[in-house]
Amino acid sequence: MRTHNRFTKLWALVALAVSGVVIAAWSRAGVAAIGNPDIRPVEFGLLSLTPGQTARLTVVNPVLSAPPEPESQARRVRLAFDIYAIGDVENRPNPTSPDARLNTLRFLGRQSRVVALMPGEAASLDFTAAAGEAHISAVMLGGPDTSQGIGNPDIVPTLEVMEGGRTIYTHPAFVKGFNPQPDPPGAQ
């Protein structure tokens, strides 16, 4: 009987030690949470402009009431246009291709500005195509460090293309909030 009690106690002690080691290893590894899908860079894709056309990236802070902490009132965002040109792997401008329908684009640079938006404020950044066709990608970055690819879920971006002072194309921001769906067929 005493042997059975010793083995039971020994087994309980070993199980306790192993579970302690497992818990310690798991807590040191840390738990990686899936990021908020609303907090990401906002990219509008590639857009081609002809000479004289202007792309305008506009952002709005729709929050109308200021938070109680003064340091958290402004939302910092970076508005950027990534500029591309037709090229090839040897970086030759305007390469000739046997397939005239295929254009290879290469990254030239980024024009960007950082803006701090107070509640109810908006800002915009314009890019006007000069001579020749321009290929751009509009990007909005935000968060505490505006160089990181972290979007700001409070900021609403919109991209528009203008020609001669008139808007010819608008790419609206996301639809956020509750989106009620109709009842399934047959449900009353």
Residue 25 maps to a domain: yes
Using one digit for the tens of pLDDT, what is the confidence trace for 82-108?
999 877 656 555 555 556 667 778 888
Residue 160 maps to a domain: yes
Q: Range of 89's domain?
A: 42-171
pLDDT at 39 > cutoff 60: no
Task: Give pLDDT, residue 162.
Answer: 93
Residue 16 maps to a domain: yes
Q: Does the model's pTM come out above 0.85?
A: no
Residues 149 and 69 in one domain: yes
Domains of the chain: total: 2
Residues 23 and 93 in one domain: no
Cβ-proximal residues to 91 (8 Å cutoff; 6+ apart), any chain:
106
Residues 73 and 158 in one domain: yes
Cβ contact 41:82 at 8 Å: no
Residues 3 and 77 in one domain: no
Residues 51 and 99 in one domain: yes
Task: Give pLDDT, residue 42.
Answer: 75
CA angle 145, 156, 110 (to 5 degrees): 50
Residue 11: phi and psi, rounded to 5, are -60, -40
pLDDT at 126 > cutoff 90: yes
Q: What percent of the chain has pLDDT over 90?
A: 17
